[in-house]
Amino acid sequence: MKCFLLLLLGCASLCAQVPRNCNQAIVGVSSGWNSSHVTLRIYEKQGNAWQPVGAAWKGRLGGNGLAWGYGIHPNIQSAAPRKREGDKRAPAGIFKLGGAYGYADQIRKHPALTYRKVTTRDLWVEDRNSPHYNRHIVLGHTPSSSWEKKAQMRQNDHAHSLKLYIAHNDAILGGKPVPGLGSAIFFHIWRGGGSKSTAGCTTMSENQLKQLIAQVDPKKNPVYILLPQNEYQQLRSAWKLP
């Protein structure tokens, strides 16, 4: 089975790599598919070589670890799990980044990074039966139905008072999310000082998240690379990872 997995990874690696126009990457590496702990670091390209920017830091992932997600990497067939809604796994692979959202009037960020101060009318839809699945929408009225209230991005929850969107199940099929393959994946503030895992997001301390968002430069076409250690090493050369 191990040889078969390596063969599949090798075949998939022929058609995947970090985009050539990408000059900034956030790299997350876990010890294995079932680990909820991750080590993160920012890299930037100097010429043709990736160089680390600053020190590495710790974060938390889904309570059940990782599963292959849906981003700009190929659809790899392997024995490892694949991301599904509600599986409490963080999506593994290569993903573009979206904008930042939060409760504050303004945040420290690159001028090119979009930021929205969310209100009670801002929703992120996780209902797989909704035509707005895995999308941010703004209601023209005060939320009244149960699903509207459940989808509110602002719920007096400090862990979600600042977040950065990870484009999982978004940058495929022309940007149309596939119902049931996972939604609402963000970088956000961890709970319990890092003692608690997530439902699928990547979390870290508030100060570290603020530093991360301040460093993200959309002009460098940044991506998030999240993989278990073994897969990272196997794919590093072919995928041109940092």
- For position 175, what pLDDT does the model report? 74
Cα 134 to Cα 123: distance, rounded to the nearest angstrom: 10
| 119-175 confidence digits (pLDDT tens) | 999 999 999 999 999 999 999 999 999 999 999 999 999 999 999 999 999 977 677
- C-alpha triplet 201, 82, 162: angle, nearest 5°: 10
Q: Does this model's pTM top 0.75? A: yes
- For position 173, what pLDDT does the model report? 65
**DSSP per-residue codes, 44-109:** EEETTEEEEEEEEEEEE-BTTBEEE--SSS----SSS-B--TTS--EEEEEEEEEEEEESSS----
- For position 76, what pLDDT does the model report? 80
Domain extent listing, the chain = 2-9+27-235
Percent of the chain with pLDDT over 70: 93
The average pLDDT across 185-209 equals: 98
Q: Is 215 left (phi over 0), alpha (psi -120 to 50) or beta?
A: alpha
**With contact defined as beta carbons under 8 Å apart, do 69 and 84 qualify?**
no
Fill in the DSSP letter of residue 179.
T
- R_g (Cα) of the chain, nearest Å: 17
- For position 16, what pLDDT does the model report? 61
| 60-96 confidence digits (pLDDT tens) | 999 999 999 999 998 787 899 999 999 999 999 999 9
5, pLDDT greater than 50: no
